[in-house]
Structure 1
């Protein structure tokens, strides 16, 4: 099972995740988030990372030019689009991207079924705020292209592995405080996912 540790705000936390076996790290470029990073800080972390780690830049309510420019400047390898965007927006992107579904009901998890996508719990603020989705929504659903996020912790992912998700994405479930990761929880989460 692949894992992404999101909301990285320091090189130290990034390397804890990488050394524990994380496949991807998430960097938040949404100013209202407590895990927000400036381009300069993100670039300083990303340029020191080892190879073969996906560097994911998370965006909310920006235009495609901002996504392209930010990813290029900081060295991100994938854009995570955490808002509803039209076809013209996606056509203008010059970087690989993943759409986020902020699920409010079972039918929502079926959106973009032919694409790899991230499914998170809906809440007014962007990001699931540690809110977990109803696991029953995934009964009988083809989940091999779903990256599951929202309310995940080292303790609850074992029970979710049976659905065959592509990956797990965690942020608050492995934190001491906003943007500061708990090294032991990060290691436990990745161990349990694998």
Structure 2
């Protein structure tokens, strides 16, 4: 089954509900200017509860944008991150020195960006380009552009996914994983449990 990442979590009950549904990854956003920002201390508490689920628990992903390597490592150690997602203009050298598996976000506009820009990344994540903000736009890009991707790394499909269109996205793109934030929310940072449950049901059936 396609792996599922639920991102932009800010509440313990949402994180545990997603974990119980079978999420493979849970994302915490450590970018203060975004509406889904979570204080690191709060993320520590939620991550500890998730880890109580044992070996089958979701992996904890920390999302950063143009943060220093020292800050990323500090949060990684504090929260116990399993992966780091880089949303900005971070260099390949920075990705290599972090000491954690890296998901590198690439913004897709009218054309596919350079997929060889970050050889040190373990995953790529394709999201919708928006000149005003990085991520959480709720808009999808032209999925057919990913036919050009040489699949040199496993990848997440992101950007405008919802329970209603996720099966079509998986069928067309065949991603290794999908990433949703706004598509399963009632408001930024607050997950709608009915939407989350519907998402998992539809992905399992796809």
Q: For structure 1, which runs of at least 5 residues remain unmatched after alignment?
A: none
CA displacement 1:119-157 (0-9 Å, x = unmatched) = 100112111411101122123545572201100000001
How many residues matched?
Answer: 194
Relative to structure 1, the CA distance from residue 108 to residue 95 in structure 2 (aligned partners, 3 Å threshold; closer, same or farther) is same
Of stretches 159-168 and 54-63 in structure 1, the one that deviates more from structure 2 is 159-168
Looking at structure 1, the residues matched to 126 and 166 of structure 2 have their Cα atoms a distance apart, in angstroms, of 15
Looking at structure 2, the residues matched to 168 and 101 of structure 1 have their Cα atoms a distance apart, in angstroms, of 14
Q: Residue 16 of structure 2 corresponds to which residue in structure 1?
A: 15
Q: Is the Cα contact below 8 Å between 2:106 and 2:113 reproduced in 1? A: yes
Query: Is residue 116 of structure 1 aligned with residue 123 of structure 2?
Result: yes
TM-score, L = length of structure 1? 0.93
Looking at structure 2, the residues matched to 99 and 140 of structure 1 have their Cα atoms a distance apart, in angstroms, of 18
Looking at structure 2, the residues matched to 111 and 79 of structure 1 have their Cα atoms a distance apart, in angstroms, of 18
Q: Residue 131 of structure 1 corresponds to which residue in structure 2?
A: 139
Q: Is the Cα contact below 8 Å between 1:6 and 1:169 reproduced in 2? A: yes
Q: Is the Cα contact below 8 Å between 1:131 and 1:150 reproduced in 2? A: yes
Query: Is residue 41 of structure 1 aligned with residue 42 of structure 2?
Result: yes
Query: Is residue 145 of structure 1 aligned with residue 154 of structure 2?
Result: yes
Query: Is residue 85 of structure 1 aligned with residue 90 of structure 2?
Result: yes
Looking at structure 1, the residues matched to 21 and 7 of structure 2 have their Cα atoms a distance apart, in angstroms, of 14
SS at match of 1:190: helix
Q: Residue 69 of structure 1 corresponds to which residue in structure 2?
A: 74
Query: Is residue 107 of structure 1 aligned with residue 112 of structure 2?
Result: yes
Q: Residue 187 of structure 1 corresponds to which residue in structure 2?
A: 197
Q: For structure 2, which runs of at least 5 residues remain unmatched after alignment?
A: none
Q: Residue 155 of structure 1 corresponds to which residue in structure 2?
A: 164
Instruction: Give the root-mean-square deviation of aligned CA atoms.
Output: 1.8
SS at match of 1:117: strand
